[in-house]
Chain A
Amino acid sequence: MAGISTHVLDTDRGRPAAGVRIELSVLDGERWRLVRSAVTNADGRTDAPILPADEARTGQYELVFHVGDYFRQRPGTAEADIFIDDPVVRFAIFDARQHYHVPMLCAPASFTTYRGS
């Protein structure tokens, strides 16, 4: 199935990051246009694909992960320890027939993303 999906994992605690707000935007000329906003469920995923297959087009996309709010609400995290709070991933759909799974692994001072499956 084509489209874009994501999965947010809290590698500091070794569990899914639930309640993280995510925004997907597409580059429209010179501007990023918001496509969809979603919040991760208990499994760290969005209930529906953040970009369904029938909306997938070749182009530049941006995912913003509002993990700072997640870390602030999580017990035991000092504000001063939050080094990365709104990480952004920009990537291309280069073939709209393929699926793009773009997970993010986060901790208050660490961020990893990759093309997953």
Chain B
Amino acid sequence: MDRIALTRRSLGGLGLGGAVAVAGTPSQAQPSGAAPASGTQPGPLAAAPTSQAGLGPRLTLHAIDNAHGTPGAGLVCDLSIREGELYRPIKTVTTTANGRPAEPLLVDDALKPGRYEVLLHVGAYFAALGVALPSPNFLDRVPIRFQIRDPRQRYHLPVLFTPWGYSYYRGS
């Protein structure tokens, strides 16, 4: 019973909702009371999904705010690579209005095999949107860890997040 409940919640709250938002309706209306459209904050969804098929080696990221059903715009992301027991910072980027950084995180020769971490500033993101959060917030800076094994491939990293959970996977 418990397992069924967990699975249903995960699908409804994170997996399927995100999948629909990523792949789905391009003219989805902005519900009232959701995040306001100003500055780097998420606005109405006007853009269709982007296909990266056929592009060269790169690491790209797409952040989806599953609490508001919008792209995760203005999310600060720290990229680092593991060296020994530590993660060495490479760069910090902020997602644009479509939930993606303006440039790939890594492209061509910069894409090297290794263990990587993207630290997502989820607490600051929701605080900036005025979302009521506990103190300290349940999720603040979320580490996303993964491996790049073959630098000839393209790696897409979608991240679906709320103040209470997140999901990430190797996308396409």
Q: Decide yes or no: A94 and B134 within 8 Å by CB, A85-B147, A88-B143 being known contacts.
A: yes
Q: CA of A33 to CA of B77 in the docked complex: distance in angstroms?
A: 25
B residues 62-83 touching A (CB-CB < 8 Å) = none
> Contact: A7 with B170, CB < 8 Å?
no
Rounded to whole Å, the gap between the CB of B11 and the closest CB of chain A is 10
> Contact: B6 with A9, CB < 8 Å?
yes
Residue from B135, B166, B170 within 8 A of A113 (CB atoms): B166
B residues 28-78 touching A (CB-CB < 8 Å) = none
Rounded to whole Å, the gap between the CB of B6 and the closest CB of chain A is 6
Tell whether B165 is near chain A: CB-to-CB under 8 Å.
yes
> Total interface residues on A, using CB and 8 Å?
29
B residues 84-104 touching A (CB-CB < 8 Å) = none
The binding surface of chain A is classed by DSSP as strand
> Contact: B136 with A114, CB < 8 Å?
no
Q: CA of A107 to CA of B10 in the docked complex: distance in angstroms?
A: 14
Contacts across chains A and B counted by CB atoms under 8 Å? 80
> Contact: B146 with A84, CB < 8 Å?
yes
- CB-CB under 8 A from B140, the residues of chain A are 60, 90, 92
Q: CA of A42 to CA of B38 in the docked complex: distance in angstroms?
A: 50
> Contact: A91 with B10, CB < 8 Å?
no
> Contact: A92 with B138, CB < 8 Å?
yes
Rounded to whole Å, the gap between the CB of A43 and the closest CB of chain B is 9
> Contact: A112 with B135, CB < 8 Å?
no
> Contact: A112 with B164, CB < 8 Å?
no
Closest 6 CB pairs between A and B?
A: A114-B165, A110-B169, A112-B167, A109-B170, A92-B136, A94-B134
Known A82-B147, A90-B140, A92-B136; further 8 A-B contacts with Cβ < 8 A: A9-B6, A84-B145, A91-B139, A92-B137, A110-B169, A110-B170, A112-B165, A114-B9
